[in-house]
Chains A and B, each alone.
Chain A
Amino acid sequence: MEIFGIPLQAFLGQLLLGLVNGAFYALLSLGLAVIFGLLGIVNFAHGALYMLGAFAAWIMLDQFGINYWFALVLAPLTVGLLGVVIERLFLKRLYKLDPLYGLLLTFGLALIAEGIFRELYGVSGQSYNVPELLSGATNLGFMVLPNYRAWVVAVSLAVCLGTWYLIERTRLGAYLRAGTENAALVQAFGINVPLMVTLTYGAGAALAGLAGVLAAPIIQVNPLMGSNLIIVVFAVVVIGGMGSIMGSILTGLGLGIIEGLTRVFYPEASSIVVFVIMVIVLMIRPAGLFGKEA
């Protein structure tokens, strides 16, 4: 059996690989969506935070012998803490200004972080090995899937859905959403809104850091890894609808699959297919697929 001239088995394999990449897009665009939805900040530092997560894991292993499993918790915490510092030091001064200022500030921070790591470690990248427990691969019949990639999809989906539940279905999430609508009123109910906002940015940063740790064993840990990815992730967020949590998750997974299939049918276009879709979506639904029309 063939689909568009490609054997069914190969087709299924490519679908699955697209899903793996989509899991990364989902995790990264989720953090962006949370930050934009609740803080109104277009966080261009997201790619750099992702890079920092990967480097944190690598440095922990290389310098301190901290293994992957601890790094999986410690690296996102470190990046999240850095996010808290960034929010307290810089971003909190910008909420009253045009969103453009937040974009410029975070973009500048990203360039600084990249520059520092390029100076320290060069651009060739560092190797981070797949943890022992997840090395090896499983034969699914239609393809051989490395166990680690399956793990990435599982973790990413669990974290994405958990975040969605937290924000859309819990009391804490209700406070968060209310805080963005009318901070003064929520404050009047005795809720510490500035603290909540700080922690939200920290959590968004930690999500990027987590994606970085997950990516470390798959690709070379490299100061440029974030900037290569961030533009695509922004396109994902725009397609999904700025600020929509579920939108960014579903769009991330969907675009991963579409990009994966493009790699088979027309490989040369695989790096631009996401942007072509973005243009089409913006023409038909300017608020994005899942965004609310203003």
Chain B
Amino acid sequence: MKLKALVTALALGFGAGAFAQNTGPVKIGFITDMSSVYADLDGPAGGEMVKWAAQDFGGKVLNRPIEVVTADHQNKADVASSKAREWIDKDGLSMLIGGTNSGTSLAMAKVAEEKKRPFFSIGAGSARLTNEACSPYTVHYAYDTVALAKVAGTALVKAGNKNWFFLTADYAFGHSLEADASTVVKANGGSVVGAVRHPLNASDFSSFLLQAQSSKAQILGLANAGGDFTNAMKAAKEFGITKTMKVTGLLVFITDVHSLGLANAEGLQLADSWYWNQDEPSRTFAKRFFAKYKRMPSSVQAADYSAATNYLKAVQTAGTTDADKVMTVLKGMKIDDFYNKGQIRADGRMIHDMYLFQVKSSKDSITPWDYYKTVAKVPGEQAFTTPAESKCALLKK
């Protein structure tokens, strides 16, 4: 009798498990840097954007409630991948979104490929995600190091800045950015005089900057991000580096410009995928964000919202959360919303327009956060890795 009860209980248990897979909540996981260097440009607000996307979609897809879970990877690849694994194995996660930090995104992309789950990388920059390390389940949604290099680098070389020196953050993202920018510089007839690598979260940049100055290069490219970028810019001004050479950031977010202040950032040219003040739909989104956070959204936060929304649309169309079917729909559909217009290529790269912006001077900046003017709009086909340049096997079929 006892045995029978046990078997029944087990059978019911299994039944409930299978039941949950098809009718339980559709779970979206979001893993990013919630508390450290990159937390302002993505962080908890980025997670909230994914939740907004779920709410605005009606809170349900395929008649199943949408559930969003978030976690802090602390910029550690092993933390990111083990959390992703746990969510997929234990909680039946349907889709994973990776925030800032390339090292963590590369690690999560591997887990997603192994477990067959769509993986959207948003805040991470390394173009390897859809090139050497491409996977059928990865979507690289917002920007990448190639696009930054092609958009900002080309413009700067063409403006006469031929000899480059790089100050590079010593990890996956910095290396990718330096390599991609060097390629662009050389392709446009410029040359790279040298480079120096600094540890992530370096305490002081003066020593590196002096090395850059003694290289006699015309332009110093900062292949780093966030606090490292702002501190390097500040020290460059203090040591008078900006008087002898042009200093430019290769990845600059609006939060960095705000933190530096227009006095320190004025005139800087930068590449980005979105700016809150670019058109009316963007302003509407930005105002809603501002009402909650008292600051304007970064391009990454806008992309978090857009990516989650378009994933849900694809699930709706596919009629299932099955990864292969959803990926087929995603790669076949047109993406068109306030964030951008584009299409996801076979290698997972979302091809959309990129912009070259210039930071306004304080007298041209009228309203709060009115920081950029658009210098150029670069079509996605020119901004991102071309199929001819790519080493991803998925593109060669």
Contact = CB atoms under 8 A, between A and B. Distances in A.
Interface of A: 7, 10, 13-14, 17-18, 20-21, 118, 122-127, 130, 137, 143-144, 146, 148-149, 218-220, 222, 224, 228-229, 232, 260, 263-264, 267-268, 270-271
Contacts of A124: 40-41, 226-227, 230, 255-256, 258-259
B40 A144 contact: no
B235 A229 contact: no
A220 B230 contact: yes
Contacts of B258: 124
Nearest to B195: A267
Given A122-B39, A137-B239, A137-B240, A20 B259 contact: no
8 contacts: A7-B214, A10-B214, A124-B256, A127-B259, A146-B239, A220-B259, A229-B203, A263-B207
Contact of A146 (B170, B199, B207, B238): B238
Interface in B202-246: 202-204, 206-208, 210-211, 214, 226-227, 230-231, 234-235, 238-240
Q: Which 5 A-B pairs have the closest CB atoms?
A: A271-B199, A124-B259, A263-B207, A124-B40, A122-B40
Contacts of B199: 268, 270-271
Contacts of B196: 267
Interface in B76-98: none
Given A220-B260, A260-B207, A271-B199, 20 more contacts: A10-B211, A13-B210, A17-B204, A17-B210, A123-B37, A124-B40, A124-B258, A125-B227, A126-B259, A146-B239, A218-B235, A218-B238, A219-B204, A219-B231, A220-B227, A220-B230, A222-B227, A228-B203, A263-B198, A267-B198
B40 A143 contact: no
Nearest to B295: A122
Contacts of B226: 124
B69 to A, nearest CB: 21
Given A10-B210, A124-B255, A268-B197, A224 B36 contact: yes
Contacts of B36: 123, 224
A127 B201 CA distance: 17
B13 to A, nearest CB: 41
A21 B235 CA distance: 13
A18 B207 contact: yes
B206 A20 contact: yes
A235 B170 CA distance: 22
A103 to B, nearest CB: 22
A291 B240 CA distance: 41
A230 B239 CA distance: 25
Interface of B: 35-41, 43, 170, 196-199, 201-204, 206-208, 210-211, 214, 226-227, 230-231, 234-235, 238-240, 255-256, 258-261, 264, 295
Nearest to B259: A124
A118 B204 CA distance: 21
A130 B39 CA distance: 27
A127 B206 contact: no
Contacts of B264: 127
Contacts of B240: 137, 144, 146
A57 B203 CA distance: 20
A15 to B, nearest CB: 10
Contacts, number: 104
Contact of B231 (A149, A220, A260): A220
A148 B237 CA distance: 13
Given A148-B238, A218-B238, A228-B201, A267 B227 contact: no
Contacts of A122: 39-40, 255, 295
Contacts of A144: 239-240
A119 B156 CA distance: 37
A144 B40 CA distance: 34
A10 B196 CA distance: 15
Contact of A118 (B35, B214, B261): B35
A267 B208 contact: yes
A217 to B, nearest CB: 8
A268 B40 contact: no
A222 B255 CA distance: 13
A122 B253 CA distance: 14
Contacts of A130: 238
A271 B205 CA distance: 12
A125 B230 contact: yes
A267 B197 contact: yes
Contacts of A146: 238-240
Contacts of A228: 201, 203
B200 to A, nearest CB: 8
Contacts of A10: 210-211, 214
A21 B203 contact: yes
A24 B66 CA distance: 51
B235 to A, nearest CB: 7
B43 to A, nearest CB: 8
A13 B199 CA distance: 21
B168 to A, nearest CB: 9
A281 to B, nearest CB: 21
Contacts of B203: 21, 219, 228-229, 232
A277 B206 CA distance: 23
A125 B207 contact: no
A126 B41 CA distance: 15
Contacts of A14: 207, 210
Contacts of A127: 234, 259-261, 264
A91 B211 CA distance: 46
Contacts of A219: 203-204, 231, 234
A204 B206 CA distance: 28
Contacts of B41: 124
A17 B207 contact: yes
A228 B75 CA distance: 14
B231 A268 contact: no
Contacts of A7: 214
A46 B258 CA distance: 29
